[in-house]
Chain A
Amino acid sequence: MSLTQQLLAQNTVRLDSKIPDAPVPDMWDTYKSDMKLVNPNNKRKFKVIVVGTGLAGASAAATLAELGYQVDAFTFHDSPRRAHSIAAQGGINAAKNYQGDGDSVHRLFYDTVKGGDFRAREANVHRLAQVSVNIIDQMVAQGVPFAREYGGLLDNRSFGGAQVSRTFYARGQTGQQLLLGAYQQFSRQVGLGGIRLFNRCELVDVVVVDGRAAGIVVRDLMTGEIQSHAAHAVVLATGGYGNVFFLSTNAMACNVTAAWRAHRRGALFANPCYTQIHPTCIPQSDEFQSKLTLMSESLRNDGRVWVPKNADENRAAHEIPESERDYYLERLYPSFGNLAPRDISSRAAKRAVDKGLGVGPLKNGVYLDFSDAINRLGRDVVEERYGNLFEMYERIAGENPYDVPMRIYPATHYTMGGLWVDYELQTNIPGLYAAGEANFSDHGANRLGASALMQGLADGYFVLPYTIGNQLAPMLNKPIPGTDHPEFKRVEQEARERYNGYLNVNGTRSPDWFHRELGKIIWDYCGMERTEQGLEKALSELPALYEEFKKDLRVTGDGNSLNQTLEKAGRVDDFFQLGMLMCRDALDRKESCGGHFRAEYQTDDGEAQRDDDNYCHVSAWQWGGDAMSPNLNVEPLEFKEVHLATRSYK
C-alpha cells in the first residue's frame, strides 16, 4: 500500500474535492449544466463578503454585484487599487493561439500541469486553461491597453516553461493595467451601490457558526475598532504568504492573517511548503534592506544568463571574453535555454553562486546580459520592450543595463500553497471560499510565469460567480446568524484581547526585529533547498523564537488610533505559526517537486526527484490546537488526461 493510501485512511476531515464526473475536457461544461441557479430577483437577498481587492477579489466582487448579489468588500489599503496584483510585470497567459503557433486549451493545461511538477489538481487546471480565453476578451472590453501589432491586433510574447507565445502584456506593467481594469469595473459597482466598500479595514478573524462560515470580524485601522459583518458567503482573496521570509518581492503589507485565521477556525491549509523563488530579482545590497525587487521574467526572452567560468574573476563584465563565460542555462537546458521554468533557473543560479561564481560587490548575483539583443535588434527595440524595467533597475542598483549587464538573484516571489479548496473554490468550511493566490489549487508545486494573473481573474470572473450561486440557491429565504449572535461577540472579544495583548507585552524588540529573525530561519532552512536536518533545526528554533516574541515584543502607541506597529505585530504573530507549519510540511514531504527541493531527493545531475508512488497527493493540514501539532489530511491526485512523467526541459 502506498504512503498516500495509508495517510488517506487516517484523514481527520472528509475531503470531497467535488470533481465533476466527466472526462477532464468536459468537466466544466458538465458542472455548469448541472449547477443550481438563483433567480435574478432573488440574488439581492444574498449577501457576499469579499476580502481583498486584488485581481481575484475585485473581479469577484464586481461580477457578483453585477449579477445582483449584495457585496461587502474589504481592503486594508486606502484604495482597492493598491492591492499587490498591481506589481505584476510580465504578462498574462491565455490559450488564444493568436500567433498560430500551435497553442490550444489542451496545451496550456498540459504546460501548467507539467510546470507544476504534477502536483496540481487536473480538473481545476483544465478549467483555468478553458476560461483563460474569456479573460483576455473581458479585459480588452474593460479598456486594458494591451500591447498591439501595427495592424492593431494583439501582440504576444513567450514566457518560461512554454514553447508557444501566449503571453499578453501591457509594457512591463501588465498587473497594473489588469488590476486597474478590474478596479474600474469594481468602482462602477461601488458608485451604483452594488458594492459597499470598507477600506483601511483588516480581517482579524472568521466566524463559523454550526460548521458554516457566518461572517468576519475586522479591525478598522483608523480607529482600532473591532467590528463584525455577517453574510451568506465569505470569499477570501487575500493573496499569498511570501512575506514569511521577511525579504521577498511581496509588498510590505502582504500577510497571511486572513488565511491563517480561517485555518485556525477549521479550514485546511494545503501544501504550505510549495513556495516559489523567482530567478530574476535584484540581489540584496545590504543588511537593512526591507524588500527585494523583481525584474520581470520577460527579460529572459532577450537577456542571456551567465557567470564567469573562473571563481577568482574580478574583471568587469565586458572585459570577460566569451570563452570564459558560462551561459549555464543554455548549456544545461538547450531546448528551453534562458526560458527554463522558475524553479529550475533559480536553483541553477544558486548552484553557480554557491560555487563562488557569483558576480557583483557581494558576489551574490549572476549576469543577465542584453548586449546580444541590443546588437541584434537595436537599442530602440530593446527600449520599447523593456524600457521601464531598465529604468527601474537603474534607480535601484545605480547601474545602466544598456551598458552593463544586470545582476540578478532568486528571491521569494509567490506561494503556490494556500487554503485547501474543492472544485468550487470552497474550503472545507461551507460558505467560506478562497480565490487567487490565497488558495492552493492550480499551480501544483511550481507556478509558470504569467499564470498568476490568469488564475486570479479566472477565479474571480469566471468561477466563483457560478459556484457561489450553486451553493446559495438552497439557502433562499432561510435565516442566517446575525452579528448579534453570541459567536460573533465571542470572536470579537478574542480579537480585542489579542490586540490589547500585543500592546501589553512591554518587551524590548519591535515586530520588525522578530520578523527579520523569523525570515532568516525560514530562508536558511525552508528556502530554495531543504534538508531533513535543516528543517528539524528550524522546527526547534522557531518555537523558541515565538516564545520570545510573546514575552519580549514591544509595540508603542495605543490601540485606539492608527498604529502601524500594532498591525505589524498581529501579522508577524501569524507568520510565526505559518512558518512552523511550512517547515513541518517540507519535512514531511520526502521528495523533491517544483519549488520544494529536498537535497536528499535529487537525480545525479541535480534535478528534482519526485516520488509518485508515495507523494502524489495534496497535503492539507488541520489546525490541531497549537502551531506545532497539526493533523495531516491528504487528497490523492489522479492524472487522467496528462500522464505522470519526469519533467524535462533539456
Chain B
Amino acid sequence: MSNHLTNLTLRVWRQKGPNDAGHFEDHAIEQISDEASFLEMLDILNERLINDGKEAVVFDHDCREGICGTCSLMINGQAHGNQRGTATCQLHMRKFKSGDTIVIEPWRASAFPIIKDLMVDRSAFDRIIESGGFITAPTGGAPDANLIPIPKPVADSAMDSAECIGCGACVAACPNGAANLFTAAKVSHLNRLPQGQAERYKRVEAMVETMDEYFGSCTNHGECEAACPKEISIDVIALMNKDYRKAKLKNRKDLSRT
C-alpha cells in the first residue's frame, strides 16, 4: 500500500522567456503519495497554481514511459534526478523522503536555450541528425531484409547505442555542454551495421562537424554516461573519434579545405 511523504519544499526555476532573468520560486507540498511519479507531483502543483489564479510551471513531458525523450529537469543538480538509468518521468516519489527540499531546474547548456521555466530548445540535436545521422535508402529500392545476415553481436551492439532517446541529459550533465555521447550513439548505431558502411566516413565527419558548431568539447569527464537514462556507454565516443580520425586521413582533400 502507498505511504505518504510530508512536508516537501519544491524550489522551482521560473523564467518568463528566453531573454528574461530567471529566479527560484518555493512551493510547499504538504502531502504526496510515494506511488506518485515526479511529474504527477508537478501536475498536482500546477493544478493548485491554476486554482490560485497563477500561471502553471512549464515543463516538457509526453509519453511518461521513459521512451520519447521529451522530459528533462535537473533535480537536485542531477540530470533526471539521482536514480540511475531512469528518465524523470519514471522517477517516483518513493525515491525521496519527508522534509526534503527538491531543487528543480531546466537543462543548463548554451546549446539548449531556455524557452520558458523548465523547458529548453533542443533542436540542435535535430540539426546533427539532419547533417548525416541516417542511411541513405530512399523508399522502394530496398533488397530483401534477409539478404544481408547481421551477426547477432553486431545487431545487439548497434541496438545498445540505438536506444538513445535524445533527451539531452548527457549535454546537461557535461561541464562543457558537449553532445559527444548523443552524437556518438547515433554514429555507433549506424557505423557498426553492414548497411551503414557506404556512408560511414562521410557520416561521422558531417555529424561531428555539425555537433562542433553548437556544442562544447568533450574532455572525458564521463558525466554523460552517469546521467544517461539508457545507460549508453562512453565507449561509443571512442568509436566515433576513431572513425572521425580515419575519415580525415582518408579524405585529404577535405582536410586541406578545413
User: A residues engaging B (CB < 8 A)?
Assistant: 59, 62-63, 66, 77-82, 84, 86-87, 96, 98, 134, 136-143, 145-154, 170-171, 173, 175-177, 180, 183-185, 187-188, 190-191, 197, 199, 222, 251-253, 285-286, 288-291, 293-294, 361, 391-392, 395-396, 398, 461-462, 465, 508, 510, 512-513, 554-557, 561-565
Contact = CB atoms under 8 A, between A and B. Distances in A.
Nearest to A81: B166
Contact of A82 (B68, B83, B131, B162): B68
B121 interface: yes
B92 A465 contact: no
A145 B63 CA distance: 22
B70 A465 contact: no
Majority secondary structure, B binding face: loop
Contacts of B131: 191
Interface in B193-209: 193, 195-196
A395 B35 contact: no
B175 to A, nearest CB: 24
Contact of B63 (A87, A187, A395, A465): A87
Given A396-B92, A556-B55, A143 B64 contact: no
Q: Considering residues B60, B64, B66, B193, which has the most beta carbons from chain A within 10 angstroms of its beta carbon?
A: B64
B134 A134 contact: no
A35 to B, nearest CB: 15
20 contacts: A62-B139, A63-B139, A81-B68, A84-B63, A86-B67, A96-B146, A134-B140, A137-B143, A138-B139, A141-B137, A142-B135, A147-B155, A173-B163, A176-B165, A183-B129, A187-B133, A253-B62, A285-B33, A361-B2, A508-B51
B5 to A, nearest CB: 13
Contact of B159 (A145, A252, A293, A564): A145
A290 B40 contact: yes
Interface stretch (B6-14, B41-49, B96-104, B236-244): B41-49
Contact of B60 (A78, A84, A510): A78
A84 B65 CA distance: 11
Interface in B113-171: 115-116, 119, 121-123, 125-126, 129-131, 133-146, 148-152, 155-156, 158-159, 162-163, 165-166
A40 to B, nearest CB: 13
A142 to B, nearest CB: 6
B196 A143 contact: yes
Contacts of B125: 79
A30 B52 CA distance: 63
Contacts, number: 227
A555 B155 CA distance: 49
B2 A151 contact: no
Given A59-B139, A79-B166, A564-B58, A188 B134 contact: yes
Contacts of B193: 143, 145
Contact of A510 (B16, B50, B196): B50
A555 to B, nearest CB: 8
Nearest to B66: A392
Contact of B130 (A170, A190, A288, A395): A190
B56 A557 contact: yes
A252 B65 CA distance: 11
A286 B56 contact: no
Contacts of B64: 251-252, 290-291, 293
B255 interface: no
Contacts of B85: 391
Given A98-B146, A184-B134, A152 B62 contact: no
